[in-house]
Structure 1
Amino acid sequence: MKKLAIRIAFIFIITVTSACGKSSDQLNTSQALQSNEEQPQGQEDTEDDDLEASPDTEEIKITSHNSQQESKPNNVETPPDHAALDIPTSDSLIHSPEGKNLSQVEWKPGAPDVTLPIRFGTTEAELVLGLDHPNGTKAVMIFPSTPVGWQLDLSGDTGVFDEYGELQEGYKIQATLHDFDQDGINELIVTAGDSIIDLSIWVYSFTTVGDLQKINPIKQELSITGQTYIVLDGDEIIAPYGSQGLFNFYKYVDKVFMQPVY
């Protein structure tokens, strides 16, 4: 009996020990499962944090992009669109084929200087028209990037100026931009006349140069005369002359004005 009691006690101890070990393993397994279950929760918290942070991140990216856009120079070569002068068609020296005024700036003797903003490709400029000093007519191309201004070449067979280089009494000078060859860089057209029988027309092109202070980038491409007004039609200038409703045509071909025969 004594041996039987000792054997029963030994079996009981082994059973209890085994049970305790199993509980410990179960506890460890439970902790591991709990740890694994908590990890996705942690990931969800991280995703939530990312979602909460993403608007700020997106805002920073957008702000940075806008800043780069603001600091990046405008390389678009299309010049700005300037509205035509609000003047009667009868006072305009530059017309469309439909008879609408195309002049964008006008100056008359006695009036303050006027300015026409221009963009030649990526180069900004301003045309200033007014009374020169001590006499003469001011038609100066100014480039804000340099302190130098270039006087336009107004030479040619013209009677719109007096012996001092000033506009004749009752005359005016107007200007506009027109892209004759559709290359994205406008040419400049300047006209002066009395809207009746006397008209002078000059056309200028722009060429990119290395130093605007030393090299004049503006070249006179055409200097002609006509009457009343001119018409700009695509790559052509149409200038009336005489009293019989006749017209001269000048076509811009390969950067050169030619007078075609019709």
Structure 2
Amino acid sequence: MRVAIVLGGSSGIGQATAVELARRGTGVIVTYNGNPAGVQQTVALVEKEGGTAVALRLDIGRTEGFAAFRDQVVVTLRETWQRDTFDYLVNNAGFGGSAMFADTTEELFDRFLRVLLKGPYFLTQRLLPLLADGGAIVNVSSSSALPTGHVDVGYSAYGTMKGGLNTLTRFLAKELAPRRIRVNAVSPGPTRTRLADADGVVGFEAYPEVIPMLAEKTALGRLGEPDDVGAAIASLLSNESRWITAQNVEVSGGFDL
């Protein structure tokens, strides 16, 4: 059985990805930080699909915890799947939020940096010896960081980190190619998730009035759902995408087309 690690698996895109992978026969390690109830729901949904999931706590913004997390992964792989390696890594953990450029503090900038770029960079590095040859990585970016993406005011810090993640995707694809490890990114457009902002406010739950406006600007006429993105991630990880690497796939339904 193939095994995936899905970061940020307690809700939204991470949860949908874990469930979709389970449907395809893949075991899943899902991480969570501040939402233990959510990750237990993810485990239950995976088991409902006949799959196996194990939840591990991880704060992606604290690199000092990565060595202990790696040790937990080693134990989990051996005890649950009798393996020493895993096959897929989904760098999805993060948080949203905005601040005008003039109002962006160093504290907020550094938090975006730790969670959205530094964390994925060094956690991937830490886990790389456990990633099987022929495996795959998907980094979850944002359509706002694409050269053709919609640019809205207030997202300079967030977009900068996601842009860095896009660059990392290409360089990793080159460096890991000798091991036949493919590295791609997905860039979701507006998606109905529980992604909290820097103040802990949950996006579409707090501002439901923006949903019709976003649907109006989307070519396919609705807001994106986590399942839409989870399916794309699972497809990029799978053998059906075996000849795809170093790509960034926009998953937005034609937002702002």
**TM-score (norm. length: structure 1):** 0.26
Structure with the largest fraction of strand: 1
Structure with the largest fraction of helix: 2
**TM-score (norm. length: structure 2):** 0.26
